Structure 1
Amino acid sequence: MSTEGLEARVDRSDARPLHVQIRDILHQQIKDHILVPGDALPTEEELQQQFGVARSVVRQALASLADLGLIHRQRGRGSVVAAAPALRRFVNRAGGLDEQAAARGQHLRTHVLRLEATITPEEASAALGTARTWEIERVRYLERVPVIYERHWVPRDLFPHFTVDLLEGASLLALMRDHGYASVGGPRQVQAVAAEPDIARALDVSVGSPLLLLEGVTQDVHGRGLDRFHVWHRANTVFDVDARVQAPTPVSQERIVQLRKLVSDLESALTELEVGESR
């Protein structure tokens, strides 16, 4: 464990309770990787001495960190920084992220930050064939840890009924399907980017932290754009790709007979041409 940065102190002029300040200090040290997964936190007695507070205050702070899933508290062994849960998803599969997490015994929770009729970016307008869109921002949590930040544009004329309450905790593609617009996927691309301030704040990471950005368009069976999206993933996301070598197409016996006949006909034609030229 690195000890750099562990000298932080509480501010008694701060309106926040002392246990909240201690929680936030330790939380920031985890975000900044001063404390990394597997590191043991200072003991309750050491934290009590460092911050000059009662042990009950330290215990409240540690309990809050445990509730956030940031540390594990073990009787007789103290507190240890928890590893961020890994989210796995198939990059070549549209939708079904909740089901993919559930198949691994994980629960993915969705919280809507914003739903507004705003000015549509040109790339979204072109993909959706309209500038009348909803802009939706969501954060998705895995085991209480924010792992995905999403920004979507969807046509308002197709989905005029969308509300924050309707979208909260729901699958966007399932809602589209329930209202008569089944998606079949569309083009996607993945790239590594640095976390901008608003996204870093939503994902509880430091500004500039590496993220994986998945962006693309979801279309229906008629090629109509249903969703233009940008989805930022924390670095603990694993993208699975089922890559296969395409097997050669087998040639039927009938086709072989046809090709042999064609070769025979060509040879006969060449022979006739050669005989004609020799006369």
Structure 2
Amino acid sequence: MSVQPVAAEPPERTPRVNREEGRPLHAQIRDILHRQILELPLHPGSSLPTEEELQKQFGVSRSVVRQALSGLADLGLIRRQRGRGSVVAATPVLRRHVQRAGGLDEQVAAHGQRLRTHVLTVEPASPPEAAVEALNTTNTWKIERIRYLEKLPVAFMRTWVPRDLFPHFTTELLENASLLGLMREHGYHPAGGPRQVQAVAADPDLAQKLNTNNREPLLLLQGVTRDALGHGLEWFNVWHSPNTVFDVDAQVTSQPAPVSEEHIRRLRTLTQQLESELAALDNSSR
């Protein structure tokens, strides 16, 4: 099956680099191509323009174009094939069950994928007011992590954890580790807690961490995890990249059928008959 190259956009709609922005040109081109891959959408196997075509489109050197393409390849978004140029790779999708607390590694493994965790910070910090109420303490760790699906960043996590319960947490301990798993190892068994999901726009910091565009819609999962005794173990915000699917097992609530006056009258008559027969039996047994 032949693969058709991606059609060029009309000149008035062709994205351009901004030489006054201050950001490297290769990063701007990488982000433009990234956005096109996500938004068109380009199917896996679709050819990108050649290096020469990209040079002409953006008015840059071949080395800049190659840096941009290398950035996309590092993210797993394209494959660079000898003789074929660059083609769009299948973008990995993160699937998780919104009603499940923890176990994200297991959920991902069920789809034949693997998550990697990189810890950005583990530091003592005062939590937000909502976290103080949930954890019943102001003595907390603030933990920031990025989770990668293959090479693609799919979630940025900011978590507050009571230091009195987990004084031993360090960056090295949490790197590529399950936070809830570490809690279990130290005698605290997460049971769950309320969660909520909402759509938010990426600010510049989130866009950089998740390698997406500013104002890109993200899914924010926020909540608290408690143990079986109700002790707050973590309060968290998790921002998910656009290639995240939340699976929900929805159940239809059964509604009781309306009861007619005739049905009520029959039940009352039957009740009276039963009471009468029970009274007769009671008298005969004396």
Contact 1:141 1:147 in 2 (8 A): yes
Point out the more displaced range, 194-203 or 217-226. 194-203
Point out the more displaced range, 1-10 or 101-110. 1-10
After TM superposition, the score normalised by the length of structure 1 is: 0.78
1:169 counterpart residue number: 176
1:121 counterpart residue number: 128
Deviation at 1:37, TM superposition (A): 4.2
Give the whole-Å Cα distance in 2 for the aligned partners of 1:106 and 1:22.
33
Contact 2:26 2:64 in 1 (8 A): no
Contact 1:23 1:65 in 2 (8 A): no
Quick one: structure 1 residues 112 and 233, their matched pair in 2 at CA, closer, same or farther if it must change by over 3 Å?
A: same
Q: Unaligned stretches of 5+ in structure 2?
A: 1-6, 256-266, 280-286
Deviation at 1:178, TM superposition (A): 0.5
Deviation at 1:53, TM superposition (A): 3.6
Point out the more displaced range, 162-171 or 31-40. 31-40
Aligned residues: 252
CA RMSD of aligned residues (A): 3.2
Out of 262, 268, 272, which is 2:276 matched to? 268
Quick one: structure 1 residues 64 and 232, their matched pair in 2 at CA, closer, same or farther if it must change by over 3 Å?
A: closer
Quick one: structure 1 residues 205 and 53, their matched pair in 2 at CA, closer, same or farther if it must change by over 3 Å?
A: closer
Deviation at 1:60, TM superposition (A): 5.5
2:206 counterpart residue number: 199
1:71 counterpart residue number: 78
After TM superposition, the score normalised by the length of structure 2 is: 0.77
Give the whole-Å Cα distance in 1 for the aligned partners of 2:60 and 2:250.
57
Task: Work out whether 1:29 is the aligned partner of 2:29.
Answer: no
User: 1:228 aligns to what SS in structure 2?
Assistant: strand
Percent identical among aligned pairs is 59
Give the whole-Å Cα distance in 2 for the aligned partners of 1:52 and 1:219.
54
Contact 1:37 1:81 in 2 (8 A): no
Out of 113, 118, 122, which is 1:111 matched to? 118
Contact 2:77 2:88 in 1 (8 A): yes
Return the letter of the residue paired with 1:129.
N
Contact 2:30 2:71 in 1 (8 A): no
Give the whole-Å Cα distance in 2 for the aligned partners of 1:9 and 1:217.
42
